[in-house]
Structure 1
Amino acid sequence: MPHVCWRTRICYVVRTLTMTSPYFMQSRPVITRSGDQNAASLRSKLTNRRRNQGPGSSVAVKVEQEEARISEQGPSSAPLSTGACHPKAETDPFPLSSHSRRRKQLKVEYDEDEGVTPVKTEHWEPPDWKKQLGYIREMRSGRDAPVDNMGAEKCYDSEAPAHARRFQVLVSLMLSSQTKDQVTAAAMKKLRAHGCTADNILNTDDEALGKLIYPVGFWRTKVKYLKLTSAILQKEFGGDIPDSVEGLVRLPGVGPKMAHLAMDIAWDQVSGIGVDTHVHRISNWLGWLKKPTKTPEQTRKALEEWLPRELWSEINWLLVGFGQQVCLPVKPLCSVCLNQQSCPSAHKISPTKRPKAASPRSPDPTSAATVKTEPGEQSEVKKEPLHTPVSPNARKIKTKVKY
Structure 2
Amino acid sequence: MSHHDPEANFSSRSMFPSVRCGARSLRSLVRILIMSSPYFTQSRSVITRSSSQSAGVTPAASVRSKLFSRQPKTAPPVAVTLEVEEASVSELEPVSVASSAGCDKLKTKPSSERRRKQVKVEYENHGHLPFKMEFWEPLNWKKQFELIREMRSGRDAPVDEMGAEKCYDTEALPRVRRFQVLVSLMLSSQTKDQVTGAAMQKLRAHGCTVENLLATSDEKLGELIYPVGFWRNKVKYLKQTSAVLQRDFGGDIPNSVEGLVRLPGVGPKMAHLAMDIAWNQVSGIGVDTHVHRISNRLGWFRRPTKNPEETRKALEEWLPRELWSEINWLLVGFGQQVCLPVSPLCSSCLNQNICPSAHQSSPVKRPKAGSPRSPKSLPFKTKTEPGQELALNDETIKQEPRPETVSYMRPRRKNKCPL
TM-score grouping bracket, smaller chain normalisation: 0.5 to 0.7
Deviations along 1:325-347, one digit per CA (max 9) or x if unpaired, are: 00000000000100001100001
Q: TM-score, normalised by structure 1?
A: 0.61
Between the aligned partners of 1:398 and 1:194, the Cα distance in structure 2 is 49
The structure 2 residue matched to 1:318, chosen from 322, 330, 334, is: 330
Relative contact order, higher structure (CA 8 A, sep 6+): 1
Within-5 A mapping of 1:183-194: 183-194=195-206
Between the aligned partners of 2:314 and 2:292, the Cα distance in structure 1 is 10
**Equivalent residue number for residue 231 of structure 1:** 243
**Equivalent residue number for residue 276 of structure 2:** 264
State yes or no: 1:399 paired with 2:404. yes
CA change 1:287–1:187 in 2 (3 A) is same
CA RMSD of aligned residues (A): 3.1
CA change 1:352–1:153 in 2 (3 A) is same
Within-5 A mapping of 1:90-109: none
Gaps of 5+ in 1: 1-102, 107-112, 363-395
Within-5 A mapping of 1:126-165: 126-165=138-177
CA change 1:397–1:131 in 2 (3 A) is closer
Deviation at 1:354, TM superposition (A): 4.7
Within-5 A mapping of 1:32-181: 121-181=133-193
SS at 1:163 equivalent: helix
**Equivalent residue number for residue 410 of structure 2:** none
CA change 1:122–1:398 in 2 (3 A) is closer
Between the aligned partners of 2:222 and 2:325, the Cα distance in structure 1 is 32
Between the aligned partners of 2:139 and 2:237, the Cα distance in structure 1 is 43
Between the aligned partners of 2:182 and 2:152, the Cα distance in structure 1 is 26
Within-5 A mapping of 1:353-372: 354-355=366-367, 357-360=371-374
Equivalent AA in structure 2 for residue 175 of structure 1:
L
The structure 2 residue matched to 1:252, chosen from 261, 264, 280, is: 264
Deviations along 1:232-279, one digit per CA (max 9) or x if unpaired, are: 000001110000001000011000000000000000000000000000
**Equivalent residue number for residue 339 of structure 2:** 327
Equivalent AA in structure 2 for residue 239 of structure 1:
G
Between the aligned partners of 1:158 and 1:200, the Cα distance in structure 2 is 18
Gaps of 5+ in 2: 1-88, 94-118, 120-129, 377-400, 407-419
Deviations along 1:83-103, one digit per CA (max 9) or x if unpaired, are: xxxxxxxxxxxxxxxxxxxx9
Equivalent AA in structure 2 for residue 334 of structure 1:
C
Percent of matched pairs sharing the same residue = 78
Between the aligned partners of 1:327 and 1:397, the Cα distance in structure 2 is 38
CA change 1:353–1:165 in 2 (3 A) is closer
The structure 2 residue matched to 1:278, chosen from 271, 290, 294, is: 290
Aligned residues: 265
Deviations along 1:304-357, one digit per CA (max 9) or x if unpaired, are: 000000000000000000000000000000001000011000011423265484
CA change 1:361–1:154 in 2 (3 A) is farther
**Equivalent residue number for residue 303 of structure 2:** 291
Deviations along 1:344-396, one digit per CA (max 9) or x if unpaired, are: 0001142326548424579xxxxxxxxxxxxxxxxxxxxxxxxxxxxxxxxx9
The structure 1 residue matched to 2:316, chosen from 304, 312, 327, is: 304
Equivalent AA in structure 1 for residue 405 of structure 2:
K
Deviation at 1:229, TM superposition (A): 0.3
